[in-house]
Structure 1
Amino acid sequence: MEPEHLPNIFKILPLALPKDTTKLCELCQGRASLECAQCRVTFYCDASHQFADWVGIHEKICPLLVPIRTWTLRGSTGEGRIEKNIKKRELIAIARSIAEAKVAEGKHEEALPGGQACLSLCVDVFGSSTIELVPAYLLLAEAYLGLGKLSPAAEMISQAEWVVSKSPDCDHELNHRLHRALGRLQTAKGNFDDASLSFANDIYHAAKAYGLESTVCRYGYFLIANVFAKKGKTLIARSMYKEVAQTWHSHLTKLMQPFLENPEASPLPTFDKAKQVEVDNMLQTILDFEQHQSIKEHPLIALLLHCLSMMWFMAGDCVKARGFGQSALQTSQMSPQQELSAAIQSLLELVDMWYSS
């Protein structure tokens, strides 16, 4: 959507500032010539940056910025500063949540304003070199990597790495995220050996933080399997992909089980939109890899298709749930064991019953 085609609310936002203004653009820190007509405390160099900020984050936090940026005499007292910091921390959580969701959904350009707002607020509240800044650095790195902008991504990761190196008590969760970002960067650069090492460290810390069988840890397996696939090490990649698929099948089955046992008494399990995009991409990648093998492992293909059917059922898309389910059943019946056939058939019956009622 281009600025000239926006709803009326956008058309009234740009207001010219006095020529001698010292206000800076919210996104690029260049000289501002426009201000938000709603909050009047946020400024931009041009309409394109105003539009990008609105779509990325400003629409969600516009009124929340007013008390923070117009704090007067009361804000200079100890009590006032505490209250102001509390409001800033609330904004940090909002900005981070919105930007993370956009990254997960593949909306990397839209994630940048939220990531920048999160970083700026963190610096304001915690200081310029504290461990609290690391999530914001890594969030921005993910957004830049998604856009293929490797230089700013590397800069964000370098900043995060420096802070972590100065924090010996940094927890496993942050270390896992840092090594995952490093692995993604090295993969994008084609440095596959370095990427493998980073993803191995990612898996170690993710296992410590969440458990070896967690879906978080298994996503690290997926990323390192991608590297092995790029290096032509098909057997290793295939083995790791299989572990990822089995973990997700177990996870989705557990989510579905109460509903399968008693659909009238149990609520339909829901699937977070951002996580859905990530999992769909992962499962489709593994499925595509397996389907291109000269000797196909039909039980694994059936398991992946069953996963996709369950996921889309929880997402409320009966067409995709039925399509993947039917393909899963056909593939399962090609295997001598047919271990999944009964479970897939039950899901298909549930899909037909649920969406025809």
Structure 2
Amino acid sequence: MNTGLSARKINPLALPKGTQKFCELCESVAHLQCAACEVTFYCDAEHQRADWVGIHKRICQLLVPLRDPERHHQLGSDKTDLNRKKVELIEICRSEAQNKLSQGKHHEALPAAHSCLRCSIDVHGSSTHEPVPAYLLLAEANMGLGIIPLVKQLLSQAEWVVSNSPDCPNEIHHLLHRSLGRVHVLTGNLEAALYNFANDIYYPAEAFGLESTVVSDGYFLIADVFVKQGKLPVARSLYYACFAFDLCLPDPPLDKSQQLEADKMFQTMLESWKNDSSKDSTQEALVNHGLAILWFQGGDVQKAAGFGSAALQASQLIPNHDLAESIRGLLQLAPSPQVDPRPGF
């Protein structure tokens, strides 16, 4: 069985009379089909390659029983098994899209996000809240590509579904408000961004509690808006609120995408305080200590040692502070850095 990237031309005479096949990505008339699964179609080789890289190589054979009901019936599978496979497909596509977005691969995330949305609607219907996370993944991918009109369209659809779903969980409300806040920042509507980021704090606090790292992300996003408004004292107080949450990092440790988000947050705080004429050594020591813990948990002992050394240096300028002992304990677990590992410094 062919399981790699290969295609064959569609033979129109082999199709039932009056039917056509359409491209998996753009929905224009298809001229090629995947030679491995034979149930996925494309307008050209470029779109097949894009879909293969984006998601198809992960789900190629999983699509066969879902898109060929006759063969599915012959194999003796029932409707329950079919639905289970669809739910599995949704999760694979969601995970793959999220993974590519965390790496900044916005274009590669599009096929997985599209497949996730298509299957979510097929399983749950278009008026339920379950497809909303897929709408948000598509919006985030297009936001990264700068296609703002399409982002607004996707978020408007998600907002309509959520507003008409009284049982919509707080987690989806929070994800929607975060996406809305981000697009408002990009379009310069900072007051609307603040409103949505405030809700981005409220809903996860209701769902996960005030000590959740998700809540601290909301404070961080609001702080960034205040920086853009020139309200630096307010922004710094919010950065400190973020830090108060994130210094005690969760167990189990953060995954790769969460680790990168936390690193970005801490680095932004450091830049803010370095540009502050008051030069608060306590805050600088605490944030460097947080970065040291973050990278130690992530397995990068060189970065952990670099930030730990910076934290120790700043802590020595703080009278009557017991942070130095904790930092020294961390440094004993990590080797001395050969170079300064901090990006941008």
TM-score, length of structure 1 as denominator length:
0.86
Alignment partner of 2:311 out of 320, 325, 328? 328
- Report what 1:42 is aligned to: 40
Structure 1 unaligned runs (5+)? 1-8, 256-268
* Equivalent-residue separation in structure 2 for 1:334 and 1:46 (angstroms): 64
* Equivalent-residue separation in structure 2 for 1:55 and 1:106 (angstroms): 15
**Between structures 1 and 2, the one with greater helix share:** 1
- Report what 1:288 is aligned to: 271
Report whether the alignment pairs 1:130 with 2:123. Answer: no
- Report what 2:284 is aligned to: 301
SS of residue paired to 1:35: strand
1:194-253 Cα offsets, whole Å, 9 max, x none, are 11011111211111011112101111111111101110111111101001012110225x
- Report what 1:180 is aligned to: 178
Alignment partner of 2:211 out of 210, 213, 221? 213
Alignment partner of 2:56 out of 49, 58, 62? 58
* Equivalent-residue separation in structure 2 for 1:52 and 1:280 (angstroms): 31
Tell me the amino acid that sits aligned with residue 214 of structure 1. Answer: S
Change (3 A) 1:83 1:270: same
- Report what 1:265 is aligned to: none
What is the count of residue pairs matched by the alignment? Answer: 329
* Equivalent-residue separation in structure 2 for 1:90 and 1:74 (angstroms): 16
Change (3 A) 1:321 1:47: farther
Comparing 330-339 and 221-230, the one that deviates more: 330-339
Alignment partner of 1:278 out of 252, 261, 266? 261
1:125-158 Cα offsets, whole Å, 9 max, x none, are 1122221111111121122222222111111110
* Equivalent-residue separation in structure 1 for 2:282 and 2:167 (angstroms): 44
* Equivalent-residue separation in structure 2 for 1:146 and 1:119 (angstroms): 18
Comparing 15-24 and 96-105, the one that deviates more: 15-24
* Equivalent-residue separation in structure 2 for 1:313 and 1:250 (angstroms): 13
Q: What stretches of structure 1 move > 6 A for 4+ residues in a row? A: none
* Equivalent-residue separation in structure 2 for 1:85 and 1:123 (angstroms): 13
* Equivalent-residue separation in structure 2 for 1:106 and 1:125 (angstroms): 29
- CA-based RMSD of the aligned residues comes to 2.3
1:169-201 Cα offsets, whole Å, 9 max, x none, are 222111111111111111111100011011111
Structure 2 unaligned runs (5+)? 337-345
- Report what 2:330 is aligned to: 347
8 Å contact 2:302–2:334 — kept in the other structure?
Answer: no
TM-score, length of structure 2 as denominator length:
0.89
1:320-351 Cα offsets, whole Å, 9 max, x none, are 12211211211222222343211111111111
Matches within 5 A, 1:230-245: 230-245=228-243
Matches within 5 A, 1:1-357: 13-18=6-11, 22-72=20-70, 75=73, 80-251=78-249, 255=251, 270-352=253-335
Shift of 1:27: 1.3
* Equivalent-residue separation in structure 2 for 1:15 and 1:293 (angstroms): 63
SS of residue paired to 1:132: coil
SS of residue paired to 1:63: coil
8 Å contact 1:195–1:227 — kept in the other structure?
Answer: yes
Shift of 1:162: 0.5
* Equivalent-residue separation in structure 2 for 1:204 and 1:183 (angstroms): 14
- Report what 1:5 is aligned to: none
